[in-house]
Amino acid sequence: MRSTADRISPHIAGRYAIEQLLGVGATAEVFLARDLGTGAPVALKVLKETLDDVAEARFRQAIAICQGLQHPGIVGIVDAGVADEALFYVMEFV
C-alpha cells in the first residue's frame, strides 16, 4: 500500500511539495509541505482514506467553519481540495 504522501503528491504537484510527515491522528495525517507559488512552508492535512462518510462530512464541516474564521490567534486555511479522492486542506505553518 502506498503512503498518503506518495498517493496525493502527483495530484498536488505544481502547487505543493510534501517535505515530511508531522503527525498522525485518528482521522488524518499532517505534513509539512512547501507552497510552490510562494515558497512558504504550509501544513497540509489529509483525511485518512479508511474512514466512513460521517468522518468525511465532519472534515468538510471543519473546513467550512475554519475558512470563515479570522483572528490573529487562529491559523487560517489557505486552500482545500481533493487529491486522489482524499480530502485535504492547507494551513499556514506555525
Locate 80 and state its grid cell: 482545500
pLDDT for res 44: 97
Amino acid at 76: G
Which pTM does this prediction carry?
0.88
**Which pairing describes strands 41-47 and 16-24: parallel, antiparallel, or unpaired?**
unpaired
pLDDT for res 52: 78
pLDDT for res 57: 87
pLDDT tens, N- to C-terminus, the chain (94 residues): 678 899 899 989 999 999 999 999 988 999 999 999 999 999 999 988 776 788 888 888 988 888 888 888 888 899 998 888 888 999 999 8
- Would you give the end-to-end CA distance of the chain in angstroms? 31
CA-to-CA distance for 42 and 78, rounded, in angstroms? Answer: 9
